[in-house]
Structure 1
Amino acid sequence: MTVTLETLDARYNIPQPALSRSWLCEAMADVLNQLDAMLPRFTTTFPAASASKGRYPAVENVDWTEGFWTGMLWLAWEVTGDDKYRVVAERLIDSFEERLDKKIKVDTHDLGFLYQLSCVNAWKLTCNTRARGLALRAADLLYQRFNATAGVIQAWGDLSDPARQGRMIIDCNLNVPLLFWAADETGNSAYREAAVRHLAQAARYLVRDDASTFHTFYMDIENGQPLRGDTHQGFSDSSCWARGQAWGIYGFALGFHHTGDTTQPELARRLAHYFLNRLPEDYVCYWDLIFTSQDNAFRDTSAAAIAVCGLAELLNILPLTDPLRPAYHNAIKLIMRNLSTHYFASAQDGLLREGVYNFGRHMGINEPNLWGDYFYFEALVRLSRVWTPYFC
């Protein structure tokens, strides 16, 4: 299949003012102030996946999103050197161990989000050997979800459930880095092979020929044949869920870091053009890219933040001579300025308001969500310093 590379909208060719050091410092200070306001409430529990009326309820470690809280704590510690963030991040490792020991909702590919941003970070940043061991246990559980016949990691649910077998989703692009890390740590090439094969299947079947993406695709686990694509969170099976497209941009760019496969950043580029060409006037996407300004649809600021991180990772890969580099830089500046100016959650919990968790299930609509907060913070860190991304 040949994936279309759309011509990038001319508005991205208009030079944009730099995100100055003072602008970045002010934006970072706003983030840290918000985290400091939340920190006393979330030292032994976690913010829920999304806020309710602008405030995050406290939850136990039972969902797919708890790692984003520890991820923000580690970011804050790296940025400031203040041990108050590290102390809480390390304290919360207990809950990640309990989750593995008691098998609390570990039948999911989101083990990458959970353990990469908590335990792998603790190991990489502080040499915490206990955290390393927990992350390796999580990686082994993730590997068990790989079906060698279909070449995919099953997204969620009991592996013996016929209704869920062979289902991969675009989000998993950001979970396979846990397997790449485990392969490097242990020398077990099976982890790497599973991650490489899954990314290849995602590229082949989750990406449509017009460079939009399915959220979900089903493979036959008996013969490895493709079955059908659909959506779990987008507007329709044939539309393009904005956050899924952003996962694809970032995930395929990361794929190059782990594999050296040059087709992956080129695929990320195609997905990025499709995404950027469908942004409204303020450059913050609607929750599905099918919508236009006439539809009065909700935004999804989290998808915008993820896309910025994906574009930044793409810029780390592309040669300095690539003619589209200035346009991608302009896109990042436009999105980040609008997120900071018009969507920062200054009067609420969290960092970004107007996220959408799951519209069809009436979950987290027009509210801050934890992953949007994390990726907005990550974007600022990426733009303000030389930094090794947590998914690398």
Structure 2
Amino acid sequence: MRKVGEPDIWRLDNQQEHFLVIIDNMASMNLDLLYMATELTGDTSYADIATQQAHKSLKAHVRPDYTTNHVVDFNRDGTVKKCMTHQGYDDGSVWSRGQAWAIYGYAQCALRSKEEMFTTTAAHLADKFVELLPPSGVPLWDSSAPQPCPYDASAGTVAARGMQMLYHLLKDTNPPAASYYLTRSFKLVEDIIRECKTAVASLDEAGNVTWGDDGWETILQHSTINGNRHSPRPIMDHGLVYADYYLLEFGNEALKLGLDKGNLKMDVIAKSETVK
């Protein structure tokens, strides 16, 4: 394991010998693409590959305490060569967006595959994510990094969307747990909006944009794409498309749940066992 302070040799794959897999592979545009391929073609081999990879990552990327490894270097025979990070603080730390990708990804795989193990895993990952939140309620870039540590709003919006999926997975079999994850998802987004919302932008008749008093060009500020000190291009505390995209995805799902036009207040939905 690489220790803090050692040079980061961001190892390229040599697929004749070993290959790298990131926890990000669990999220929406990776394994879910394979499930969608099965849905569109009827060929179940795509979904089988996705489910097999999710099981593999469960053993390799998810640690016994339900924190996650960012990168796993696999030998050609599928055994683990090394666990490491590229965007987190160090190899054994808890990179918050990686944890969020895992919540989202396992909840999504559970919806697709109906495997209860994936639902249970997503719930444990979400519980750990909440446990590691600072008092502000906005996730830090890496929960193990020295303080002060910048936020990563994108980790919060990804995780919140994953918790919405947990609500759907659990509402029929475990309504109290479903209500908890829905409530927690909204609390997470509320905290992020309070701490990270940018100033209102405006568009004039000529099509020129004024970005507001703070100059941010995103909906949310305070994300961190990569804070690793050995990265050739560390970028911290900035706007990030992931944060905005998953905030909008979260909002779209909230509308489907009946939160538009004040029809249902958040606390009523969260306590209800019958919302579909």
Of residues 246, 256, 275 in structure 2, which corresponds to 1:385? 256
Query: Runs of 5+ in structure 2 lacking a partner?
Result: 1-10, 200-211, 259-276
User: Structure 1 residues 353, 258: CA separation in 2 closer, same or farther (over 3 Å shift)?
Assistant: same
Cα-to-partner distance string for 1:43-85 (whole Å, 9 max, x where unaligned): xxxxxxxxxxxxxxxxxxxxxxxxxxxxxxxxxxxxxxxxxxx
The CA deviation at 1:190 is: 2.5
Which residue, 312, 328, 331 being the options, matches 2:164? Answer: 312
Equivalent pair of 1:275/1:289 in contact (CA under 8 Å): no
Greater helix content: 1
Contact 1:282–1:335, Cα closer than 8 Å, also in 2: no
Partners of 1:343 and 1:352 within 8 A in 2: yes
Distance in structure 2 (CA, Å) of the matches to 1:158 and 1:167: 6
How far apart in 2 are the matches of 1:195 and 1:371? 23
Over the aligned positions, Cα root-mean-square deviation in angstroms equals: 2.0
- Distance verdict in 2 for CA 1:199–1:266, change over 3 Å: same
1:363 offset after TM fit, Å? 3.5
1:338 aligns with 2:191: yes
Report the AA paired with residue 198 of structure 1. Answer: Q
User: SS where residue 229 of structure 1 aligns?
Assistant: strand
Q: Deviations over 1:329-387 (max 9, x none)?
A: 33222211122222112232111100000112344311011111100111111112259
Structure 1 consecutive aligned stretches of length 4 or more whose deviation exceeds 6 Å: 156-159
Q: Matches of 1:333 and 1:282 in 2, distance apart?
A: 14
- Counterpart among 139, 145, 154 of residue 302 in structure 1: 154
Task: Tell whether 2:224 aligns with 1:350.
Answer: no
Give the Å deviation of 1:266: 0.4
Residue 54 of structure 2: which of 187, 199, 207 is its match? 199
User: Secondary structure at the residue paired with 2:225?
Assistant: strand
Secondary structure in 2 aligned to 1:210? Answer: coil
Matched, 1:171 2:24: yes
Give the percent of matched residue pairs that are identical in Structure 1 and Structure 2. Answer: 25
Q: How far 1:326 sits from its partner (Å)?
A: 3.5
Question: What SS does the aligned partner of 1:166 have?
Answer: strand
CA deviations on 1:232-281 (whole Å, 9 max, x unpaired) are 11111111110000000010000111111110010001001110011111
When normalised by structure 2's length, the TM-score is 0.77
Match in the other structure for 2:38: 183
Q: Which runs of 5+ in 1 are unaligned?
A: 1-155, 388-392
Is the contact between residue 93 and residue 145 of structure 2 (CA under 8 Å) also seen in structure 1? no
* Mean CA deviation greater in 273-282 or 328-337: 328-337
Aligned residue-pair number: 227
Using the alignment, how far apart are the partners of 1:214 and 1:300 within structure 2? 17
Residue type of the partner of 2:93? S
Task: Map 1:1-392 onto structure 2 (within 5 A).
Answer: 160=15, 162=17, 165-174=18-27, 175-221=30-76, 223-291=77-145, 295-320=147-172, 321-346=174-199, 347=212, 348-360=216-228, 361=231, 362-386=233-257
1:323, distance to aligned residue in structure 2 (A): 2.9
| 8 Å CA contact retained: 2:222, 2:239 | yes
Alpha carbons of structure 1 residues 160 and 201: separation in structure 2 relative to 1, 3 Å: closer
Higher relative contact order (CA 8 A, sep 6+): 1
SS in 2 for 1:236: coil
Q: 1:209 to 1:302 in 2, by over 3 A?
A: same
Mapped contact 1:345–1:368 kept (Cα < 8 A): no
